[in-house]
Amino acid sequence: ILNVEQSPQSLHVQEGDSTNFTCSFPSSNFYALHWYRWETAKSPEALFVMTLNGDEKKKGRISATLNTKEGYSYLYIKGSQPEDSATYLCAFGNDMRFGAGTRLTVKP
Amino acid sequence: EPEVTQTPSHQVTQMGQEVILRCVPISNHLYFYWYRQILGQKVEFLVSFYNNEISEKSEIFDDQFSVERPDGSNFTLKIRSTKLEDSAMYFCASREPSGIGANVLTFGAGSRLTVL
């Protein structure tokens, strides 16, 4: 993988569902992996910075894991709420290259 | 809470004109970035800047683009001769040089550029 890839591109879930999505990145020369949340008409907001293999971070209902050896990170949202609707971006490397994002829509 | 401010919020220009987008990063931040997002596409890295020089730049950041820190506060992106495909939302971001916040980018609200 030469670039940062995110999947799925979009996701529609019902309120209360738990969901997860993936960020894949080059596994060599790992520096740091970032997750950002981006709501429409706002600027991206930092969620997590992950630096160590096996890292697991949590903020409320949102958590993230990191596997630097295989080059992926998962973002989990437990009990999705409509206010979780946003695009979730991951960024990789010292120059902060972003993936295309996963657009999450949570229906009430 | 400290924030990154960008001006203008929206600029409309004619193809071939020069445009300067301005950013005021958070005062103790020393790393600065420009990104853009063409409507419906992903956020793309343009350039990073540290210690008064470009650290890294992407393939998008060609000779038409330049960045400058003309004084202690502003960080500008100049597009010399705009093209239609330069129409996008341009985001400035900054981060601390070290410490807990060193890896976290703070973004501005963006400048929308429309090239006609």
The most distant pair of C-alpha atoms in chain B lies apart, rounded to whole Å, by: 44
Is the CB of A43 inside 8 Å of chain B's CB atoms? yes
Å between A23 CA and nearest CA of chain B = 14
CB contact under 8 A, B55 and A43: no
CB contact under 8 A, A51 and B103: yes
Annotate B79-102 with b (16+ C-beta within 10 A) or e (fewer): beebeeebbbbbbbbbbbeeeebe
Dihedral-angle region of residue B113 (phi above 0 means left; psi in -120 to 50 means alpha; beta otherwise):
beta
Tens digit of pLDDT at every position of chain A (108 positions): 457 899 999 999 999 999 999 999 988 878 789 999 988 777 888 999 998 899 999 999 999 999 999 999 999 999 999 999 999 999 887 777 888 899 999 999
A3: three-class secondary structure by DSSP: coil
CB B68 within 8 A of CB B78: yes
pLDDT tens digits, B41-68 = 878 889 999 888 998 888 899 999 999 9
Q: Say how far apart CA A81 and CA B113 lie, in whole Å.
A: 33
| β-bridge pairing A62-67 and A72-77 | antiparallel
Is the CB of A33 inside 8 Å of chain B's CB atoms? no
Suggest the residue from A96, A102, A103 to mutate for an interface test with chain B (most B CBs closer than 10 A).
A96
DSSP β-bridge partners for residue A19: A77
What Rg value do the Cα atoms of chain A yield, rounded? 13
By C-alpha distance, the chain A residue nearest B4 is: A43
pLDDT tens digits, A57-77 = 999 999 999 999 999 999 999
Å between B75 CA and nearest CA of chain A = 17
Q: Residue A23 CA to chain centroid, in angstroms?
A: 6
Is the CB of A77 inside 8 Å of chain B's CB atoms? no
| β-bridge pairing B111-115 and B10-13 | parallel
Residue (of A19, A2, A36) closest to B93 by Cα position: A36
Å between B56 CA and nearest CA of chain A = 7
Residue (of B97, B47, B105, B49) closest to A89 by Cα position: B105
